[in-house]
């Protein structure tokens, strides 16, 4: 079972500055590389504290490349609806080359209305734009003189440079959240699956993951197997009391920042995002305690964290975890101590992939 780190900044400029944030996550990335963790992942967002410090995962991962030698680098995720496929294919291949073939490319459908508004991209029709962009990127990675004509972009005889180091292209992943059809589509297309069981009960998420695995197998992807990685907030404390006292204020900060961005859905309706309207009410209803007890966050001393990870892995049937360790605009020393305890005291106790 793989274990890596996942970053989703929720810092605000009056609290944690961008230079301080990036010093923290680059330090954690170096440590992940030295400790033998599997991935460093970071997510693309814009404009507000929820993810706003990372408008470019590829720029950040280029910096990680310079200070690491073996850990894999993952966009978790890039948002194709805001990019031209020639740009995405070229820039991802560049990071693949810089890293010596260590890049995994995760794609996600953007979901925050204010980002669509800022880029002038309509939310209705964004699903079709998303799939068209992914199809074009995969063709540009693997073909020459590519011609594409869609309602969203068109180009002729395009051969992007540099070419990907990995053959036939970097591993691809899809972030899926709610719709069973999204999980089925990811499997049919042969992508890996990224999940974040925050607002979705573990048992319901397990059902969606089963749909993905079944669709992957039925589609037939010779030489490849379905892969599922889950991202959850993690804090490993020196003891249970310290863990709760440290993590709960950080979780409260994270939930507040997330809800403030999700407030954009209060009056927004889109046919491509059924069930999203009013989602901030569900986030505001969560407390740090409920976030921990329902499976959305893993907090405790090493023994409690180990038991919780085993339990979640058994329910979800995942191939690994990418632990979100930067939540709450956490102090760098606090985050580093938690990750060190995880590697020293939790990892050795965890079994291989749950069957």
**pLDDT digit string, tens, across residues 37-56:** 999 999 999 999 999 999 99
Residue 138 falls within a domain, yes or no?
yes
Q: With cut-offs at 50, 70 and 90, classify the pLDDT of residue 352.
A: low
Quick check: is 313 in a domain?
Answer: yes
Query: Where is 4: in which H helix or E strand?
Result: strand 2-7
| Residue range(s) defining the domain that contains residue 180 | 2-349
Per-residue confidence at 355, pLDDT binned at 50, 70, 90? Answer: very low
227-250 pLDDT, tens digit each? 999 999 999 999 999 999 999 999
In sequence order, what are the beta bridge partners of 229? Answer: 194, 320
In this prediction, residues 202-223 reach a mean pLDDT of 94
Mean pLDDT of 96-119: 97
Q: pLDDT tens-digit profile of 8-31?
A: 999 999 999 999 999 999 999 999
Note whether residue 355 is domain-resident.
no
pLDDT digits (tens, 9 = 90+) for 258-269: 999 999 998 888
φ/ψ of residue 245, rounded to 5: -65, -35
Identify whether 202 is part of a domain.
Answer: yes
How far apart are the C-alpha atoms of 142 and 138, rounded to whole Å? 6
How confident is the model over 291-348, as pLDDT tens digits? 998 878 999 999 999 999 999 999 999 999 999 999 999 999 999 999 999 999 999 9
Q: Is residue 56 part of a domain?
A: yes
What is the C-alpha radius of gyration for the chain, rounded to an integer number of angstroms?
A: 19
120-146 pLDDT, tens digit each: 999 999 999 999 999 999 999 999 999
The pLDDT tens digits of the residues spanning 161-207 come to 999 999 999 999 999 987 888 999 999 999 999 999 888 889 999 99
Assigned domain for 354 exists: no
CA dihedral (338, 43, 123, 205) in degrees, to 10, reads -50
Cα 341 off chain centre by: 23
Query: Does residue 10 fall inside a structural domain?
Result: yes
Cβ within 8 Å of residue 125, ≥6 positions away = 151, 272
Q: How many structural domains are present in the chain?
A: 1
Average pLDDT of the residues of the chain: 95
Q: According to the model, what pLDDT value does residue 353 have?
A: 40
Is 283 domain-assigned? yes
CATH of the domain at 257: 3.20.20.30
């Amino acid at each position: 079972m793989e274990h890596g780190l996942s970053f989703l900044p929720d810092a605000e400029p009056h609290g944690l500055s961008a230079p301080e944030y990036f010093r923290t996550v680059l330090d954690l990335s170096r440590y992940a590389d030295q400790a033998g963790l599997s991935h460093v992942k970071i997510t693309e967002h814009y404009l507000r504290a929820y993810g706003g410090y990372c408008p470019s995962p590829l720029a950040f991962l280029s910096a990680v490349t310079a200070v690491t030698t073996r850990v894999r680098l993952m966009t978790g995720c890039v948002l194709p609806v805001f990019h031209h496929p020639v740009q995405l294919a070229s820039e991802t291949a560049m990071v693949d080359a810089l890293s010596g073939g260590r890049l995994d490319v995760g794609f996600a459908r953007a979901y925050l209305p204010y980002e669509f508004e800022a880029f002038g991209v309509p939310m209705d029709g964004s699903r079709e734009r998303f799939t068209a962009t992914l199809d074009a990127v995969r063709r540009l990675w693997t073909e020459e003189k590519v011609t594409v004509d869609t309602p969203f972009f068109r180009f002729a005889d395009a051969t992007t440079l540099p070419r990907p180091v990995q053959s036939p292209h970097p591993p691809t992943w899809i972030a899926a959240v709610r719709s069973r059809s999204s999980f089925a589509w990811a499997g049919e297309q042969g992508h890996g699956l990224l999940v974040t069981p925050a607002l979705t009960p573990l048992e319901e998420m397990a059902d969606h993951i089963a749909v993905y695995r079944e669709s992957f197998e039925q589609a037939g992807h010779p030489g490849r197997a379905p892969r599922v990685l889950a991202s959850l907030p993690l804090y490993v404390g020196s003891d249970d009391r310290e863990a709760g006292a440290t993590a709960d204020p950080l979780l409260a900060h994270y939930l507040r920042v997330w809800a403030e961005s999700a407030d954009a859905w209060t009056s927004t309706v889109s046919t491509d995002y059924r069930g999203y309207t009013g989602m901030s009410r569900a986030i505001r209803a969560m407390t740090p305690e409920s976030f921990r007890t329902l499976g959305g966050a893993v907090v405790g001393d090493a023994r409690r964290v180990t038991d919780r990870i085993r339990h979640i892995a058994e329910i979800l049937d995942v191939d690994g975890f990418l632990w979100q360790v930067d939540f709450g605009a956490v102090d760098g020393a606090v985050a580093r101590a938690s990750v060190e305890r995880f590697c020293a005291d939790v990892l050795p106790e965890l079994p291989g992939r749950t069957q």
